[in-house]
C-alpha cells in the first residue's frame, strides 16, 4: 500500500482519497501512535480558499460526533489542522453501503430491509434524544458491516435546533441534504428540519430497499423536489405484491407530507418494523458466514436475552406460573405452547382473564404479526383490540390509543367504506382520546364518525 508522508506527525494516510464526498474528503490510514486503522476526513474548501464559516461548521461536526455515542455511529477520535486544512479522525468502518447493496441485488429481502431500518431507528433514537437531526439520511450513508450491524455515516449536515452551543451553520450555495431523500419541510423556505425529517428520509430508504426504486425519480432536481412536496408516493404493493400490507402502511406513514402526520418517533417506527425482522438469511458477499465466530453477534446475542422473559414493567417475581393443558407449567413466554395459533390464542385469553395483562398483550401482539389484514381481518381485529385493552388496563392509555390507530390505518385500505368494524374502531379511538385528555382530537374523530356512518 502506497502512503503519503505523515500528517500532523501522527497519521499515515493511503495514497488516494476515497471517491465521493461533496463537502469533505475522506482518506483511510493508520494512527501511528496507537497503531490502529482510521478514517480521516478533511474539509473541502471551494476554489481552494480557506472559508472560516466552513471551518466552524467542520469543528461543530467533530463536536456533534463526539457527543453522539452509539454502536451504530462511527466513533470520533481526534480533531485538528494540517496546515490550514481542518481534519476529523474517525473509526474506520468496513462493509458495504446500502446504496451499493441495492445496486447489486436490486431489492432486499423484507426481513433485511426491516432489520436495517430498525437499526437506523436505534441510532436516530439516540441522536434525537441528544437533540440532533441528521438531515442527510440516505442509502449511501448507511454501511452494513460483515457482522450484520449497520453504521449511520456522515453526521456532517446534522443540526441541533434547540441547542445554543450546537446551532446550525449554513453556507450559501450548499444543499442541506440530498434531494431524492429530503422531506417537504426541508425543501420549503423557512421550514427547519426536525426528527420527522429524518423519518421521512428513512421512509424513502425503506421504499428503495424493498422495491429497488426511489419513491420519486424526477428528471431534474427541481422536478424531484416538486414531487416530494406535491405528489403522493407509489404504494409498495403495486410495485411488489409480496410486501406485507402493514409494512406498506408504515412506509406511506413515513412519507406523509406533513411532519405531524408521520409516526411520532423513531422508537414507534422501530416497534412497527420489528415484527418483520425475521428469516434473516445470508446476504451473499456481504456477511461473514454463520460458521465464522462473530464477537459482535455473540455480544448482541446476550443483550437480546436481557428482559426477554420479563413482561413490560412487571418484575419477574410477579409473573404467575400458568399451566398449559397437555404441557408443562411456564412462567410466561408467549409462545410456550408451540406454534399452534389456536393454542397460543387460548393462552393469551387465559392470561387476559387472569389479569396478567403484560403477558397477554405480548401474546396478542405476537399472534397479530403472523396474520394477514385481508385474509384474517376478524382475528387480527380481535387480537389488536385485546392488546390495546391490555395497555389500557395497566394505565397506559396513550399506548392503547396508538395500537388502535395503527389498526385503523391497517384496515382502512382493506375494508369497504361504511364497514361497521371501521365505525367501531373509530368509536373506541374517540373514547380513548377523551380518556387521555385529547378532547379536540376526540371531537374530530366523532365528527368524522357521524359524517361517514
Q: What share of the chain is helix, strand, coil (3-state, %, to 5)?
A: 50, 10, 40
Is 376 catalytic? The answer is: no
Task: Note whether 246 and 272 are within 8 A (CB).
Answer: yes
Phi, psi for 170 (deg, rounded to 5): -105, 170
Residue with cell 447493496: 101
Phi, psi for 294 (deg, rounded to 5): -125, 105
Catalytic residue of the set 47, 51, 82, 136: 136
Q: What is each CA distance from 383 to 124, 142, 256, 314, 380, in whole angstroms?
A: 30, 35, 27, 21, 5
Distance, CA of 152 to CA of 70 (rounded, Å): 10
Closest of 304, 271, 289 to residue 403, by C-alpha: 271
For residue 81, give the DSSP letter.
E
Closest of 304, 309, 340, 313 to residue 325, by C-alpha: 340
Distance, CA of 135 to CA of 280 (rounded, Å): 29
Sign, Cα dihedral of 299, 303, 309, 315: positive
Distance, CA of 163 to CA of 150 (rounded, Å): 27
List, in sequence order, every beta strand (DSSP E) within 32-144. Answer: 36-43, 76-82, 85-91, 96-97, 142-144
Distance, CA of 402 to CA of 271 (rounded, Å): 11
Residues noted as catalytic: 136
Amino acid at each position: 500500500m502506497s502512503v503519503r508522508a505523515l500528517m500532523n506527525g501522527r497519521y499515515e494516510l493511503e495514497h488516494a482519497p476515497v471517491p465521493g464526498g461533496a463537502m469533505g474528503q475522506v482518506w483511510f490510514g493508520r494512527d501511528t501512535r496507537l497503531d490502529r486503522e482510521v478514517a480521516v476526513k478533511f474539509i473541502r474548501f471551494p476554489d481552494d480558499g480557506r472559508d472560516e464559516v466552513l471551518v466552524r461548521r467542520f469543528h461543530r461536526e467533530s463536536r456533534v460526533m463526539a457527543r453522539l455515542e452509539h454502536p451504530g455511529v462511527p466513533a470520533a477520535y481526534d480533531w485538528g489542522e494540517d496546515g490550514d486544512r481542518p481534519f476529523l479522525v474517525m473509526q474506520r468502518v468496513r462493509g458495504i453501503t446500502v446504496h451499493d447493496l441495492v445496486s447489486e441485488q436490486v431489492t432486499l429481502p423484507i426481513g433485511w430491509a426491516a432489520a436495517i431500518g430498525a437499526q437506523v431507528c436505534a441510532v436516530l433514537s439516540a441522536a434525537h434524544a441528544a437533540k440532533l437531526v441528521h438531515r442527510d439520511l440516505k442509502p449511501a450513508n448507511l454501511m452494513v458491516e460483515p457482522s450484520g450491524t449497520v453504521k449511520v455515516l456522515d453526521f456532517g449536515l446534522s443540526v441541533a435546533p434547540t441547542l445554543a452551543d450546537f446551532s446550525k451553520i449554513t453556507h450559501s450555495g450548499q444543499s442541506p441534504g440530498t434531494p431524492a431523500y429530503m422531506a417537504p419541510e426541508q425543501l420549503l423556505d423557512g421550514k427547519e428540519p426536525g426528527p420527522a425529517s429524518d423519518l421521512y428520509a428513512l421512509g424513502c430508504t425503506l421504499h428503495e430497499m424493498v422495491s429497488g426504486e426511489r419513491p420519486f425519480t424526477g428528471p431534474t432536481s427541481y422536478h424531484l423536489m416538486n414531487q416530494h412536496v406535491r405528489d403522493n408516493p407509489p404504494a409498495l404493493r403495486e410495485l411488489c405484491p409480496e410486501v406485507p400490507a402493514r409494512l406498506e402502511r408504515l412506509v406511506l406513514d413515513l412519507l406523509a407530507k406533513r411532519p405531524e402526520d408521520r409516526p411520532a418517533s423513531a422508537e414507534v417506527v422501530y416497534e412497527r418494523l420489528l415484527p418483520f425482522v425475521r428469516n434473516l438469511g445470508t446476504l451473499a458477499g456481504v456477511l461473514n458466514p454463520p460458521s465464522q465466530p462473530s464477537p459482535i453477534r455473540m455480544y448482541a446475542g446476550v443483550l437480546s436475552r436481557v428482559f426477554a422473559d420479563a413482561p413490560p414493567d412487571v418484575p419477574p417475581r410477579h409473573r404467575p406460573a400458568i399451566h398449559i393443558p397437555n404441557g408443562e407449567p411456564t412462567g410466561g413466554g408467549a409462545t410456550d405452547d408451540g406454534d399452534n395459533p389456536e393454542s397460543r390464542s387460548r393462552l393469551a385469553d387465559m392470561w387476559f382473564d387472569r389479569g396478567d395483562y403484560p403477558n397477554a398483550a405480548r401474546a396478542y401482539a405476537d399472534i397479530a404479526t403472523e396474520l394477514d389484514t385481508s385474509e384474517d381481518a376478524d382475528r387480527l381485529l380481535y387480537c389488536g383490540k385485546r392488546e390495546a385493552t391490555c395497555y389500557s388496563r395497566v394505565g397506559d392509555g396513550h399506548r392503547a390509543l396508538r395500537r388502535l390507530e395503527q389498526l385503523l390505518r391497517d384496515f382502512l385500505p382493506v375494508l369497504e367504506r361504511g364497514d361497521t368494524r371501521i365505525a367501531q374502531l373509530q368509536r373506541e379511538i374517540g373514547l380513548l382520546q377523551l380518556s387521555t385528555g385529547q378532547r379536540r382530537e376526540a371531537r374530530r374523530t366523532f365528527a368524522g364518525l357521524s359524517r361517514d356512518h
